[in-house]
Amino acid sequence: MELVRGLHNLRPRHRGCVATIGNFDGVHAGHQAILKRLRSHSARMGLPGCVVIFEPQPREYFAPNAAPPRLTRLRDKLMLLEAEGVDRVLCLAFNRRLRELSAEEFVQQVLIDGLGVKHLEVGDDFRFGCDRSGDFAFLEGSGERHGFTVEAANTVAESGDRISSTRLRQVLADGDFELAERLLGRPFSISGRVMYGQQLGRTLGAPTANVQLKRLHAPLKGVFRVSAVLDEDPFKGSHQGVANIGMRPTVEGDGQPHLEVHLLDFKGNLYGRHLTVLFHEKLRDEQRFDSLDALQAAITADIAAARAQWASDSNK
Ligand SMILES: Cc1cc2nc3c(=O)[nH]c(=O)nc-3n(C[C@H](O)[C@H](O)[C@H](O)COP(=O)(O)O)c2cc1C
Ligand SMILES: Nc1ncnc2c1ncn2[C@@H]1O[C@H](COP(=O)(O)OP(=O)(O)OP(=O)(O)O)[C@@H](O)[C@H]1O
């Protein structure tokens, strides 16, 4: 899969494709349905399938502090899009210039001059352009004038409700990981590099790998039953574990949320390795304990609860 950053990096060879546009945060089952249609039009027309995304996502640009949490960082989003068979991603910087483009200018500059789009696939509620003035009817009209076809994919729903990134954020915040897995088509995960922590975990009887969240504003907090894959290689096996996402109020953290993972029965150095943490169940909320002994007892109980659930799963 090819990543093109910015319109200025498009070359004549990039012209002629089938495309779709959106945030694709989480690459959930609704997105996957659109991407499946993109693949089939791409095969039918013998043209590459291109996804146009924005970075930052528009709401992060408009309200950096009030934007909703991210389900996927750019890196993970790109890996998931590649796994869905996307040939090319055009990542546009969402900035003042882009936000001020009218729907007409967006079509002309991005779809026609930039990509030479021959077919556009969008969701039925898709809107774009300055003040979200461009909709499906507008695109159909543009398509007739500029020579591309447009198709609106039907809404993909689960239990009667539309699947969306917004809904997933709520489902994760509620700790409903079974539903999250159905909406995503895979368990929810966060990945990152393991960095040095305060090295306190080992004295608590549970050494933890501190996974770098960087600027990721995680959509969940609390203590979870997890599994983890090392270096993105599922063939190296997945490890069972428990994890905490929070501020670590008992040990006076650094004011930043951390993702800390304790892998059960694992010995080895994880510093600098890449860890993908898959979330299976919420065990409890993070708490401020009066002593490190009380925290240690709580973590021991978390580990026991996780082990009991794994054991019951394997007996099913
Ligand atoms: C399963 C688990 C549950 C945790 N629960 C809490 C908690 O409820 N409150 C809290 O302050 N810290 C909690 N922590 C975070 C610990 O305070 C943290 O892992 C410990 O301070 C070690 O940090 P270090 O790796 O930076 O040394 C939890 C950690 C794990 C792995
Ligand atoms: N459940 C769905 N069914 C059909 N199409 C969808 C579905 N969810 C998203 N799409 C389409 O996928 C494309 C990308 O969607 P986008 O990520 O922008 O929206 P979203 O997942 O609904 O997120 P949000 O909750 O932030 O609105 C758009 O064309 C959108 O209409």
15-53 confidence digits (pLDDT tens): 999 999 999 999 999 999 999 999 999 999 999 999 999
Tokens of 233: 């290689």
Q: Which of 292, 273, 123, 266 is nearest to 204 (CA)?
A: 292
Which pTM does this prediction carry?
A: 0.92
* E strand or H helix at 161: strand 161-162
Q: Which of 286, 234, 293, 231 is nearest to 260 (CA)?
A: 286
The CATH architecture to which 2-162 belongs is: 3-Layer(aba) Sandwich (3.40)
Q: Residue-wise over 34-58: b if at least 16 C-beta within 10 A, else e?
A: bbebbbebbeeeebbbbbbbbebbe
103-154 confidence digits (pLDDT tens): 999 999 999 999 999 999 998 888 887 778 889 999 999 999 999 999 999 9
User: Where are the chain's structural domains?
Assistant: 2-162, 187-314
Please answer whether residues 283 and 223 qualify as being in contact, where contact means their C-beta atoms are separated by less than 8 angstroms.
Answer: yes
Tokens of 3: 């990543």
- Residue 253 pLDDT more than 80? no
Tell me if 260 CB under 6 Å of ligand 1.
yes
For range 245-268, the mean pLDDT: 89
Q: Distance, CA 244 to ligand 1 centroid (Å)?
A: 6
Q: ipTM, 2 decimals?
A: 0.86
Ligand showing the shortest atom-to-Cα distance for residue 263: 1
Beta-bridge partner residues of 162: 157
Ligand showing the shortest atom-to-Cα distance for residue 195: 1
Tell me if 165 CB under 6 Å of ligand 2.
yes
Cα of first residue to Cα of last residue in the chain, in angstroms, is 39
Fold of 187-314: Elongation Factor Tu (Ef-tu); domain 3 (2.40.30)
Residues, the chain: 316
* E strand or H helix at 278: strand 274-284
- Select from 20, 165, 171 the residue to mutate for testing ligand 2; criterion: most ligand atoms less than 8 Å from CB: 165
Using the atom order of ligand 1, give the atom closest to the CA of residue 209.
25
Tell me if 127 CB under 6 Å of ligand 2.
no
Q: Which of 124, 90, 88, 85 is nearest to 106 (CA)?
A: 90
